[in-house]
Structure 1
């Protein structure tokens, strides 16, 4: 996570008694209850939360259903253009996710929820993946056991695995998300950090661009509090005996945060630079990049679109947020393109010459490149433009 944060009341040291008035405490023990959230065992970033009651009190569990993404049938290796802008609204931000691509490291979803929360549960917890939720449209509050955090259009919401949360949209009919479920922790690229862990001067963002919870939402309540728990391909309903937001304080480096794509500071050169200059997040098995509005290359003879290239060791996916992507024709906001490893791709005919007089682009797009090949889902293939692989013929 970006940096150390402290919110609310915490004791002076780790793992010591944190008193609470005996008359108000669980079974008169006179304590708050420590809860450690770690990454990669106990070796990397962690946070410590303090609950009014033990967070381990489960009243019931119930398997709801399996929900593994289904791969499309056998097909040739080719480029894909998948149109998702007008997917029908369904479900909520958790059950309404439509899988598009997946491999062992990542599952990419689109989500256009019809309701803020379906019946039968009040909270969501991804038990085995970090959630990256890019807000294509909408805004509201992210509420979690770490506190409340405002989100807005073009935000990346990064929610660590294990966080119990819910989205409270301003207007659910405007909500529209790109969601990446990450099997591994989401991090700032190592090259952006100096040895002391601070973001380097000259990186495309700073700590000021990352926003964690601003206030706790302490709820000291007993009852039946249903959590929809996801672990890879299974949904379980877990009923807790106390409200999961009974946290009076926490500190550490693991917590939900937002980063707005418009706060990314693009780097340009005299001639076209390779995609890693747009890298935003680093995850084992893939990277996330932000193509933000920017000035273009300024050599007098610069070709201001990417060169034709092979993705020799990566599958490349772009999600088009808005604006005109200079090297593409026929692509609309809400579309994905998948350019798999093994086939070259480059500017569409006519875009190279057209770029010569361009000075700036207002495009916004999210890209992720995966180390291992992606599989398309049945849902993705239903939105695929079968003519796209031939679109370089002119």
Structure 2
């Protein structure tokens, strides 16, 4: 992460003796990225962090991927995935349904009301967007209280669980990387401080404020890791002799944090601004952008909606969260929809959208976009809720007409 934090008790000097009140030693653990060459944190445990007493396979949710063939843009209706009261038997980890994926990133969706098991993703960082509801995200670093509009960044191998709070089901949109997820490099100084042109800064980020200590024995932790299953993934349940939440203190630059989309300050201009000005995070071979309520272009001849554009290098995945998305009117897309605009297909406003937008001063829209630099395939959830009609909405007729 871009700045240093200390939570709880740590010794004055790293890698030196740090003793418990009874005289025994705490166990120091370095959690670090890129083989001791990038951001890290030092955690001080009451128990041995490597200890396990049992292990068994965990059958992951369906990770099967199907190519987008024939190559067409698609409309996926996420709100159809968890009908009725299904959320009452679902948690935010094991209940995820895979919507889209490739070798770099997987996008899943869940609607849940149950606490998840303790979980760690050993394949990459996670960015989980909270569409609706609220939760306590309990982690080995401490807890985060999160709610509607929060991005929750969870570094690789962070043991954590999701505990829904409140009366509303928890709707989560999980972007799982096979790499690390961080603010764009162009927003940061060479030493990691947010620069003046960045649309958010350190003050907007919420990290754990105090240690989270728990007692327990034979505690199960679900681990997603590299393997020979679909997508190169596998799952294992580790049984720990003591509770993993035994960290009395930690410090460093690597930790989970939350950032609310309402704290993103949009960049606008006299004419239409390209998607990179809306970027919020990045991973290897993908970026995450968000489109928030904002004033729009103020040139006297401005066209506020996007121009038609060809995705030469990218698949563009837009999750429509809230508001009224002007460019997609007439397509059937609404709240809870995903549009899949694959590389190789030119896309842009629906017929009539350009004319309707002329003279607009403000767009009330909220969307999360993922652009990938390798093609995305459809997961079982994406296949299940494809409306089958979106590709023909620009022409007004399809192959059966």
Partner of residue 102, structure 1:
101
Q: Does residue 223 of structure 2 align to residue 224 of structure 1?
A: no
In 2, Cα distance between the equivalents of 1:378 and 1:244?
33
| Unaligned segments of structure 1, at least 5 residues | 24-29
Partner of residue 156, structure 1:
151
Q: Secondary structure at the match of 1:290?
A: strand
Runs of 4+ in 1 over 6 A off after TM superposition: none
Residue correspondences, number: 383
Q: Secondary structure at the match of 2:356?
A: helix
Q: Residues 115 and 172 of structure 1 are in contact (CA less than 8 Å); yes or no, is this contact kept in structure 2? A: no
Partner of residue 230, structure 2:
none
Q: Does residue 174 of structure 2 align to residue 190 of structure 1?
A: no
Query: CA separation of 1:256/1:19 partners in 2, compared to 1, >3 Å: closer, same or farther?
Result: same
Which TM-score applies when normalising by structure 1? 0.94
Higher mean displacement: 161-170 or 266-275: 161-170
Q: Residues 154 and 262 of structure 1 are in contact (CA less than 8 Å); yes or no, is this contact kept in structure 2? A: yes
Q: Secondary structure at the match of 2:186?
A: helix
Shift of 1:157: 0.4
Map Cα deviations across residues 128-165 of structure 1 (whole Å, 9 max, x no partner).
22111100001121111100111110000010111111
| Unaligned segments of structure 2, at least 5 residues | 227-232, 397-401
Q: Residues 2 and 210 of structure 1 are in contact (CA less than 8 Å); yes or no, is this contact kept in structure 2? A: no
Q: Secondary structure at the match of 2:34?
A: coil
Q: Residues 30 and 41 of structure 2 are in contact (CA less than 8 Å); yes or no, is this contact kept in structure 1? A: yes
Q: Residues 149 and 215 of structure 1 are in contact (CA less than 8 Å); yes or no, is this contact kept in structure 2? A: no
Partner of residue 399, structure 2:
none
Partner of residue 15, structure 1:
15
* 1:1-394 mapped onto 2 (5 Å cutoff): 1-22=1-22, 30-67=24-61, 69-72=63-66, 75-88=69-82, 89=87, 91-117=90-116, 122-171=117-166, 173-219=168-214, 221=215, 223-232=217-226, 233-329=233-329, 330-394=332-396
Shift of 1:87: 1.6
Map Cα deviations across residues 26-72 of structure 1 (whole Å, 9 max, x no partner).
xxxx1011011111221111001000111111111011225451123
Which TM-score applies when normalising by structure 2? 0.92
C-alpha RMSD of the superposition: 1.5
